[in-house]
Amino acid sequence: MEQAIEAFLAHLAQERKFSGNTLSAYRNDLVQFAGFLQAPHDVAPAPSGWQGVSQAQITAYLLDLRDRRYADTTVARKTASVKSFFHYLLTNGLVASNPTDGIASPGVRRPLPKYMSIDEVDTLLRQPSLRTGPEARRDEAMLWLLYATGLRVTELVKLNVADMQLEGEFSHIRLISRAGRARVIPVNPDAARAVQTYQDEARPNLARTADEPALFLNRRGQRLTRQGFWLILKNYGRGAGVRLDITPHTLRHSFATHMLTSGQLNLRELQEYLGHASIASTQVYTVLAGRDGMDTPAAAAALRRTSSPAVEER
């Protein structure tokens, strides 16, 4: 059983370019499922391999998760793992039929994304300007860039100097996804100016070597980590009096909601900015749009569009 699980995980890593965290979740789910099949239960025991696992055994496993009070989201994920695994087994001729056919994925009501108001974003963006030193200019550039583009925090900290093209109205970032697709995201002049100021005045004071590729550096001259930026953002959030437990994704949600609210991007353009594979992931922001106005100068400036929409290169 373990051999088939490892082959499936290798398929996900090589063919579908899943991240290490996603692969770890799949492994944990399937190892738990295999352990359930091999333990004594009210249903007939599973055979030594995956061939012959019945729908009754899978249903018993899912009911056992419910009985053990697993969260709905966790049960949904584990169900999806098992269904995906058996689809792989059937496709590769390792089972004669798929016992998950007819097993519905449990519905999970997704909570609406939490986002900041325009006033809160405006106050947050102004926090680094109240401080001096190279780290303050770095933080200012990161906050403006994150809110102006909707980048994921992982994408933000992985940026290299070479990924930024600062050319006034045509400034942009070029990202490469795990699947090898290039995503070009315009950067408006105000955010580009903050990054340029950081590069010219602050980054040279942080860099230890002239050939360091990372754009955003910590005080040791190394690439700033996700955890490092998370702590920085928490600190500025407290200073700004933001009511939410702010995370980098809060800024991403705020960017998406405010872009639709202001009419600066339509849904399809927003999908390209955010890098969503499916527009269904983007549609949740239509529920939130329309609640805020764009009347605060710093936030409005951060969202000011360039002349070129995001482009997805395939």
Same domain, 243 and 303: yes
Residues 77 and 132 both lie in one domain: no
Residue with tokens 């093209």: 165
For 14, the domain range is 2-91
Same domain? 125 vs 238: yes
For residues 67 and 125, membership in a common domain is answered with no
My answer on whether 85 and 224 are in the same domain is no
Domains in the chain: how many in total?
2
Domain membership flag for residue 112: no
Smallest Cα–Cα separation from 312: which of 174, 188, 192?
174
Summarised one tens digit per residue, pLDDT across range 28-47 is: 999 999 888 887 655 444 45
Question: What does the pLDDT profile of the chain (314 residues) look like in tens digits?
Answer: 788 999 999 999 988 888 888 899 999 999 999 888 887 655 444 455 788 788 888 888 888 888 888 887 888 889 999 999 999 999 998 888 898 888 877 665 567 778 888 889 999 999 999 999 999 999 999 999 999 999 999 999 999 999 999 876 788 898 876 667 788 889 988 899 999 999 999 999 999 999 999 999 999 999 999 999 999 999 999 998 887 788 888 999 999 888 888 888 888 888 888 888 778 778 778 777 644 444 455 656 666 544 344 544 43
What is the domain-level CATH number for residue 132?
Answer: 1.10.443.10
User: Is residue 110 domain-resident?
Assistant: no
Contact 223, 138 (CB under 8 A): no
DSSP-assigned letters across all residues of 78-114:
HHHHHHHHHHHHHHTTSSSS-TTTT-PPPP--PPPPP
Residue 271 lies in a domain: yes
Are 185 and 294 in the same domain?
yes
Same-domain status, 48 and 130: no
44 with 123, same domain: the answer is no
CB 229 within 8 A of CB 153: yes
**Is the separation of the CB atoms in 53 and 1 below 8 Å?**
no
In a domain, 245, yes or no: yes
Q: Is 176 helix (H, G, I), strand (E, B) or coil?
A: strand
Domain annotation covers residue 113 = no
Q: Is 105 within a domain?
A: no
CA dist., res. 114 & res. 116, Å (int): 7
Neighbours of 224 (CB within 10 A): 23
Tens digit of each residue's pLDDT (9 = 90 or more) over 194-244: 999 999 999 999 999 999 999 999 999 999 999 999 999 999 999 988 877
Q: State how far the alpha carbon of 40 is from the alpha carbons of 36, 44, 56, 69, in Å.
A: 8, 8, 14, 20
Look at residue 109 and tell me if it is in a domain.
no
Q: Tell me: do 141 and 256 sit in the same domain.
A: yes
Residues 30 and 84 in one domain: yes
Q: Are 222 and 290 found together in one domain?
A: yes
Q: CB of 243 within 8 A of CB of 120?
A: yes
Is 102 inside any structural domain?
no
pTM, full prediction: 0.62
136, 285: one domain? yes
